[in-house]
Structure 1
């Protein structure tokens, strides 16, 4: 029985641990918090997962909350004008529904399941020295903890990382009491509100510790009018700021948020990080090698909502690579090949996310505008969140965008 150590109990670490466990591997999982501490702690992300990522969970029988979480059937885009009116406003329909489950609910539940199924769960923060010691007892060590000292073992890949500073200041609030969207109230949708030169507001339904809720998520250009959450410790002050900015920049969303309140005292989050791709292999002082997972090796800005999707896809790709490798050693060549397999999908996410962090060029504005008149364009853009590789076909190059829109209007 091959022994595998996974450090980090987020979407990728836990999904991979449970997947390997179900295939008969002896898995040890290290987490710096217990399930109860996670459940009672702060929100960790916004995690809207689209159909492909959800299917990876279904394949492993880990979709415990699928019947409870809201079914997100659409994705809407609004673009604000200088006077805070909406210049663009439409909703694309998803081919397969998306869902958001608060990671406090999911990670705590998965962690308990892992332990109940006989997995070895170690509650301990890991430093490089600890890994050096532990690594000798395992066939493979995977690092899935995207923050902290361990990430420094993985060198930044400058060729794939155009930014060396955060491109957005992030501020999240989980709320109860949000009113329905006046347009298409019959189905749930994620709303992406773009305020040019200022940032973006995302609004998405979720399942949290207290049931159904909605997430209000500001992404502010650093130094701009949305970059005001640093140092705000009081959750009620955080929510008040969120609403004040909604009233100013996205009054159509504020109109249904006048009666909201936080889901709980841990329902806010603020921070920022530089989008970074890193080399996949970390070298321990004693000569051992460890393989980075998900956010450790590919950390994109949340502007395209891909973090938990990418984590799920990475875990699925790594699971296949480990199982297919059989009894052969997990050497450097295998580690590089395993990461390359994941990069086949991750590269499309990185390219698209980095493009969305820049001011949209004219042909993209044309595409977003046309989607208000041409439903197939709205639907295709929405489904790109599930499969970002499709953006190659109609998004980046003015010629391809023009040809695509012309094909719709000819019909």
Structure 2
């Protein structure tokens, strides 16, 4: 029986550990926190998983919360009109909703990771509650056929060198601020449809609103992405959750009053329901070398960390785990050498590269043809639907998004012009 060590108990590490376990591998999982500590701790993320990523969970029969979590049937885009956040009436220059072919879902990672971790242990997996340093891995690596590092923060990440060719940004491009709330009202134009709402405020940042399942049941996530140094970049050092929520709502009132109108009665889901931070989007070399010469393979956002502006983090983590699981199973009894590690990463990069390209494009001010595309989606439901469904398959953006000629040709094909 092949022995595999997975370091880090997030979406990718746990999905991969449970997948390997179901195929008879002897898996050890290292986590720096217990399931109870995760469940009662602070929120770790925003997450909205689209159809393909959800299907990877279903394939492993890990979709424990599918019946409880809101079924997200659409994705809406609103763009604030220029100058609309000055005093006076606020207008949306663009406002539309695209329908998803297969619903999306969001489950608070405190719920999911704690539940999956308990399942892993119940199924006989070896769970080690211990923060891992490079020296620990150096010691452990001799006892395992393969060591996978899926802990996206801390000193372990430093083993994987930055890939400058694939990492155009060296500084964080957004300041992130998250609040989980109860009591958000529906959007009046679609009161019966759960949808993710992407609100773009040009030159300022973005507000995302998404339905989720949290520790206390159904909730919504209010998620600001602020351009560093701009008016949304005010959460640094805010420790009090009530102050965090108050700042969130004040910014909504100023910049996205159409969303604020349904948030006047919200309250935090719990004392751990806020999160703030920032990081530079980075692609890294997938193979880490331990001091004793052993090799480890980086997983998910250890090796490809994109800004959350396109909502791809948990989707990419799920797709990475699925790709790595297939590669490990196909390897059989052969050695997990460096060549295999690089080929395994390349298999994942084949999908991840589309996410990275799209995310980095969305972090920059939009060129004219993108503004035209977003505007056209307001008049043409097929365009809105295609844009929404590309969140599930970002490779499709190659066909109609990046190049003005392709965008023009696509819009002409829809209008029959």
1:183 partnered with 2:189? yes
1:67 partnered with 2:89? no
Shift of 1:187: 1.1
Residue of structure 2 equivalent to 1:401: 407
SS of the residue corresponding to residue 371 of structure 1 reads helix
Residue of structure 2 equivalent to 1:168: 174
Residue of structure 1 equivalent to 2:30: 30
Residue of structure 2 equivalent to 1:95: 101
Measured in 2, the distance between the counterparts of 1:184 and 1:386 equals 22
Shift of 1:30: 0.1
* Number of residue pairs the alignment of both structures matches: 411
Structure 1 unmatched runs, 5+: none
SS of the residue corresponding to residue 231 of structure 2 reads coil
Measured in 2, the distance between the counterparts of 1:148 and 1:265 equals 25
Residues 359-374 of structure 1 correspond to what in structure 2 (within 5 A)? 359-374=365-380
Structure 2 unmatched runs, 5+: 85-89
Residue of structure 2 equivalent to 1:49: 49
Measured in 1, the distance between the counterparts of 2:67 and 2:394 equals 26
Measured in 2, the distance between the counterparts of 1:95 and 1:45 equals 25
1:302 partnered with 2:308? yes
Residue of structure 2 equivalent to 1:231: 237
Residue of structure 2 equivalent to 1:282: 288
Measured in 2, the distance between the counterparts of 1:211 and 1:186 equals 18
Measured in 1, the distance between the counterparts of 2:110 and 2:49 equals 15
Shift of 1:183: 1.2
Measured in 2, the distance between the counterparts of 1:185 and 1:50 equals 21
SS of the residue corresponding to residue 49 of structure 1 reads coil
Measured in 2, the distance between the counterparts of 1:384 and 1:171 equals 25
Residue of structure 2 equivalent to 1:382: 388
Residue of structure 1 equivalent to 2:275: 269
SS of the residue corresponding to residue 117 of structure 2 reads helix
Measured in 1, the distance between the counterparts of 2:234 and 2:52 equals 35
1:152 equivalent among 134, 143, 158 = 158
SS of the residue corresponding to residue 211 of structure 2 reads strand
1:221-255 deviation digits (Å, cap 9, x = unpaired): 00000000000000000000000000000000000
Residue of structure 2 equivalent to 1:315: 321
Shift of 1:185: 1.3
Measured in 1, the distance between the counterparts of 2:282 and 2:116 equals 28
Residue of structure 1 equivalent to 2:345: 339
TM-score by length of 1: 1.00
SS of the residue corresponding to residue 405 of structure 1 reads helix
SS of the residue corresponding to residue 303 of structure 1 reads helix
1:113 partnered with 2:119? yes
Measured in 1, the distance between the counterparts of 2:72 and 2:314 equals 16
Measured in 1, the distance between the counterparts of 2:26 and 2:416 equals 58
Measured in 2, the distance between the counterparts of 1:85 and 1:277 equals 38
Shift of 1:136: 0.1
Shift of 1:184: 1.3
Residue of structure 1 equivalent to 2:87: none
Shift of 1:33: 0.1
Shift of 1:3: 0.1
1:50-87 deviation digits (Å, cap 9, x = unpaired): 00000000000000000000000000000001214100
SS of the residue corresponding to residue 6 of structure 1 reads strand
**79-88 vs 151-160, which moves further:** 79-88
Measured in 1, the distance between the counterparts of 2:154 and 2:241 equals 24
Residue of structure 1 equivalent to 2:19: 19
2:298 equivalent among 284, 292, 295 = 292
1:78 partnered with 2:78? yes
Residue of structure 2 equivalent to 1:39: 39
2:364 equivalent among 346, 358, 365 = 358
1:160-189 deviation digits (Å, cap 9, x = unpaired): 000000000000000000001111112100
2:262 equivalent among 245, 256, 264 = 256
1:211 partnered with 2:194? no
1:2-39 deviation digits (Å, cap 9, x = unpaired): 00000000000000000000000000000000000000
